[in-house]
């Protein structure tokens, strides 16, 4: 079955450590996205990529980095510069085109203490 896989589901880190969240899709989608979800704030866009080797900052990119070396993969690194990293992170993908909804993974809950 095609889909988006995020791993791990739960991740714990100490403050000051960088951590990388994995996102893989086998839907052959060109565009991939990372969102952060906090209670009562909905989803906020961190980074998105429309094509391999290219990506753009979203609304809250500070303290995060991404790479897009392969079409299937869009890992997100949460750096020690991110002041409040504890959150639920959602990866999504879509095909190019005017009516192409986002397809989501099941998310990774990151807790930094």
Q: Could you list the residues that contact another protein (CB under 8 A)?
A: 4, 6, 31, 33, 35, 40-45, 48, 50, 58-59, 90, 92, 94, 96, 98-99, 101-107, 109
In sequence order, the 6+-apart residues with CB closer than 8 A to the CB of 97 are none
**Cα within 13 Å of Cα(40), Cβ side:** 0
Nearest distance, CB of residue 28 and another protein, angstroms: 16
In sequence order, the 6+-apart residues with CB closer than 8 A to the CB of 15 are 80, 112, 113
Which residue's CB is nearer to another protein, number 80 or number 107? 107
Which residue's CB is nearer to another protein, number 16 or number 53? 53
């Amino acid at each position: 079955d095609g889909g988006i896989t995020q791993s791990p589901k739960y991740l714990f880190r100490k403050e000051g450590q960088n951590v990388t969240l994995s996102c893989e899709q086998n839907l052959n989608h060109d565009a991939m996205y990372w969102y952060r979800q906090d209670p009562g704030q909905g989803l906020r866009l961190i980074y998105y990529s429309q094509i391999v080797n290219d990506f753009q900052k979203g609304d809250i990119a500070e303290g995060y980095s991404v790479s897009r070396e392969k079409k299937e993969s869009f890992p997100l690194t949460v750096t020690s510069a991110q002041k409040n990293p504890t959150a639920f992170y959602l990866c999504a993908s879509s095909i190019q085109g005017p009516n192409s909804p986002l397809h989501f993974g099941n998310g990774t809950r990151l807790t930094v203490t």
